[in-house]
Structure 1
Amino acid sequence: MKISYNEATAMGCSNLKSDLELCEKEGFDYIEIRMDMLKEYLQHHTVSELADFFANSRLKPHAINALYLYPEFLSDQDEPERCKELLAEFTFGCQIGEAIGSKEYIIVPPLQREPKGGPFIGNVEETKENCVRILSRLGTIAKKYNIKLCFELVGFERSSVRTVAEADAIIRAVAMENVGFVFDSYNLYLYQGTNEFSALRQVQAEKIFAVHLMSGLNVPAAERGQDKRCFADGGVVDVDDFLQTLKAIGYDGMVSVETFNPDYWCQNREWVIHKAYETTREVLQRNGCI
């Protein structure tokens, strides 16, 4: 497996230019670029500069992060301006990916985005229909740019797609070569504290285009959120079972460290990126993944 870095890990204390330099220095194989940090970078740099960096670096771009869906997107009930805006963002990400050599784009199913706003309102059948429609349309667009879509379930109640089985049913229904999964150890854990990952054995292994690896802080279920992510060398998520399950089904692609922990953002960017690499490499080595 290859070690990747997701920019959310130091987003509160870094920027894309620094992330590129530090990830290259540490020895990461890949970097996942956040769309907001990319747009900030492009205020002072060009796409050509970014492409030149990767052309002359051992560090390579992996997935663009991320496009957040909403249920009515690309339907007859969609609001034209809202649809136009999100479709433009998606196309922009695909164009950047093609220009710099990034081959993947993370796609997040509809969420109730307000942390205190309650659970997602909807049902599994409607969500499947919506996601199949959207991913089919986006997959067709992405194919023109040689981009794969990585559909990412999120296990908490604010998400519309919470389990491996639900995500798998959607991907099988879409049935496109360039539409598959990204599996995130903490997002899987968010579904009722799931801490064994045998459900991954039921999916089409060739459809796993990316993996996110991290653990989580030991907090009550009601307090679990993305800000409780932590590096994979500690915490409550059984990252060993997660990795061993992926190995058993033949996955040998990238593994990206992705935290949103504000405590890390209080540190300097050099510390965060060094610890991200050191702890991820340690866990991968322990499990015979590198």
Structure 2
Amino acid sequence: MKLGYNEATCMKRSTVENDLVLCERYGYEYIELRLDMLKKYLEKNTLADLQSFFRSSRLKPYAFNSIENINFCSADQWDTLISLFTFGCEIAQAIGNPYLIVVPTMGDDMHKKSKDDVYSDSVEVLNKLADIAKPYKVKLAFEPIGDKRWCVRSLEQALEIVHAVDRPDVGVALDSINLFLYNRLSNIDSIDDVPLDKLFVYHVNDCEDLPLGVLDHCHRLYPGDGIIPLAKISDKLHKKGYEEICSVELFRPEYWELDPEKVIRTASQKAQRFL
């Protein structure tokens, strides 16, 4: 697999400009740009500047993060979502960024939604978004979030939805902590059921040993520093023939307060063993 970096890892103290330089310095092959950080970048820089960087760099863009809360939108929420989504598609086309990650809706009432309602809404929304993205040649990576606050939690559920959509430009994004947040990865064999052509993105991270209900995204750790069986996940991906991005994505507030160079260097060193 190829080492990637997700900008959430240092987003409080870093910038797109800084991340580009540091990722190239410490051996990353791909970067997942955040749309909010990208908008800030374009306040002081031009799209031509970004295109120029990627033309001359070994580092390449891979997947924009992210379009969130795609389910059960009001008309106003949908208009706002489409505005950001279209912005992402336009920039993605301009710099050769092939994927855009889309995330199911979070809310304290999401566990009350029926599986059938989540299924039908997700299929409808993913088709609408894929129709918009198609002219830009951007593919959608649908990422299940294991915590009960999200309406699509398991890989099995996400894969069922993606199969129903049944188009080559819609697949899944796997995230190790999200796999773990759903019943502590008791469903690890579900990785075997993901067709290779539907596996678009893999996020690698670790986490503290905390009970479900307490464990959250703020408890992410560098790969290898926690309890997620990352070697087993890597083994399953290797056996499948997956050779694309293995992207470090950390949301740990403690890491946000550190020097970004230290975090990016450390993350590269620790993730290498799981490629």
Considering the TM-score relative to the shorter chain, is it more than 0.5? yes
Question: Match for residue 26 of structure 2?
Answer: 26
CA shift in 2, pair 1:93/1:269, >3 Å:
same
The CA distance in 1 between the partners of 2:30 and 2:265, in whole Å, is 14
Which amino acid counterpart does residue 246 of structure 2 have in structure 1? V
Name the TM-score, length of structure 1 as normaliser: 0.92
* Percent of residue pairs identical: 36
1:197 aligns with 2:192: no
Instruction: Name which of 96, 100, 103 aligns with 1:108.
Output: 103
Asked whether the 8 Å contact 1:197–1:245 carries over to 2, the reply is: no
The CA distance in 2 between the partners of 1:214 and 1:226, in whole Å, is 10
Question: Match for residue 288 of structure 1?
Answer: none
Which amino acid counterpart does residue 208 of structure 1 have in structure 2? L
Shift of 1:120: 3.5
Asked whether the 8 Å contact 2:207–2:227 carries over to 1, the reply is: yes
Matches of residues 48-197 of structure 1 in structure 2 within 5 Å? 48-73=48-73, 78-79=74-75, 81-112=76-107, 117=108, 120-194=111-185, 197=188
Q: Deviations over 1:130-188 (max 9, x none)?
A: 01001011111111101010000011100111111111110000001100011011111
Which amino acid counterpart does residue 52 of structure 1 have in structure 2? S
Instruction: Name which of 229, 232, 241 aligns with 1:238.
Output: 229
Asked whether the 8 Å contact 1:24–1:59 carries over to 2, the reply is: yes
Query: How many pairs are equivalent?
Result: 275
SS of aligned partner of 1:232? coil
Asked whether the 8 Å contact 1:196–1:242 carries over to 2, the reply is: no
Which amino acid counterpart does residue 126 of structure 1 have in structure 2? D
Q: Deviations over 1:35-76 (max 9, x none)?
A: 111111111111111111101100000100000134334xxx
Shift of 1:22: 0.4
Asked whether the 8 Å contact 2:72–2:105 carries over to 1, the reply is: no
Greater Cα offset, 128-137 or 244-253: 244-253
Asked whether the 8 Å contact 1:32–1:64 carries over to 2, the reply is: yes
- Flag structure 2 segments of 5+ consecutive residues without an equivalent: none
The CA distance in 2 between the partners of 1:36 and 1:136, in whole Å, is 24
Shift of 1:196: 5.9
Greater helix proportion: 2
Over the residues paired in the alignment, what is the CA RMSD in angstroms? 1.3
Name the TM-score, length of structure 2 as normaliser: 0.97
Shift of 1:254: 0.8
Which amino acid counterpart does residue 78 of structure 2 have in structure 1? C
Which amino acid counterpart does residue 100 of structure 2 have in structure 1? Y
Which amino acid counterpart does residue 17 of structure 1 have in structure 2? E
1:268 aligns with 2:259: yes
CA shift in 2, pair 1:118/1:140, >3 Å:
closer
Which amino acid counterpart does residue 122 of structure 1 have in structure 2? K
The CA distance in 2 between the partners of 1:107 and 1:83, in whole Å, is 14
The CA distance in 2 between the partners of 1:148 and 1:44, in whole Å, is 28
The CA distance in 2 between the partners of 1:192 and 1:101, in whole Å, is 37
Asked whether the 8 Å contact 2:10–2:255 carries over to 1, the reply is: yes
The CA distance in 1 between the partners of 2:117 and 2:175, in whole Å, is 24
Asked whether the 8 Å contact 1:98–1:145 carries over to 2, the reply is: yes
Asked whether the 8 Å contact 1:33–1:65 carries over to 2, the reply is: yes
